[in-house]
Amino acid sequence: MRSLHPWRVLVLGAALAACSPVSENGESEDVRRPAVDFRLEQLGGGEVELSEWAGKPVILDFWATWCPPCEFQVPELNALYRAHREANDVGVFGISIDEGGPEIVREWAAEKGVDYPILLSDGDLARQYGAVGFPTFVLIAPDGRVEWTHAGVIDREDIESRLAKFVTAP
């Protein structure tokens, strides 16, 4: 694993301090449980249902506009999304837990240059997935089970290494 930048250590430390079920590296020790199915409104229209992605891995990024570290994930997730968009072999979704309405999320996403689909939720779904801090990443395996979770900021390369057993690197 690559060394952590000082701001990542700070973010990870804050996430770990919140009585989370994660190890020292921010990764969940409780995996391979069935993923919680959902149907969420997509920013810009339409809905996304997790079960529609059965047979493919899915990355969920739980985040909020008021979360400064979440901003650092946008370029990493944009690159991940772009790398897999054409093959459509991985679902990449940002799930906003903001409760202020879609306009706040839309403005933030436009300002930060988000390319990947943003879904609108609240803290309840994030809690169901075990998120205790933000950002929190969840990798759902093609069989519909949670393969891995990570609390805190993470690099695209680290996510791709987790996806490698399900897809060929772009």
- Pick left, alpha or beta for residue 58 (phi over 0 → left; psi -120 to 50 → alpha; otherwise beta): beta
Tokens matching residue 140: 């759902």
Q: Write down the pLDDT at residue 109.
A: 97
Please say whether the beta carbons of 132 and 99 come within 8 A.
no
8 A C-beta contact, residue 92 and residue 27:
no
Phi-psi region at 60: left, alpha or beta (left = phi > 0; alpha = psi -120 to 50): beta
So where are the chain's domains? Answer: 6-163
Cα end-to-end span (Å), the chain: 20
- Backbone CA torsion sign across 13, 14, 20, 22: negative
Q: Which CATH architecture has domain 6-163?
A: 3-Layer(aba) Sandwich (3.40)
pLDDT the model gives residue 170: 64
Residue-level pLDDT at 14: 44
Query: Residue 31: what pLDDT?
Result: 67
pTM of the model: 0.82
Task: Report pLDDT for 28.
Answer: 54
Going from the first residue of the chain to its last (170 residues), give the mean pLDDT of each consecutive group of 10, the final group possibly shorter. Answer: 41 39 48 92 96 97 96 97 96 96 96 98 94 95 95 94 86
Closest CA to 57 of 35, 33, 30, 29: 35
Q: Which two tokens stand for residue 139?
A: 């990798």
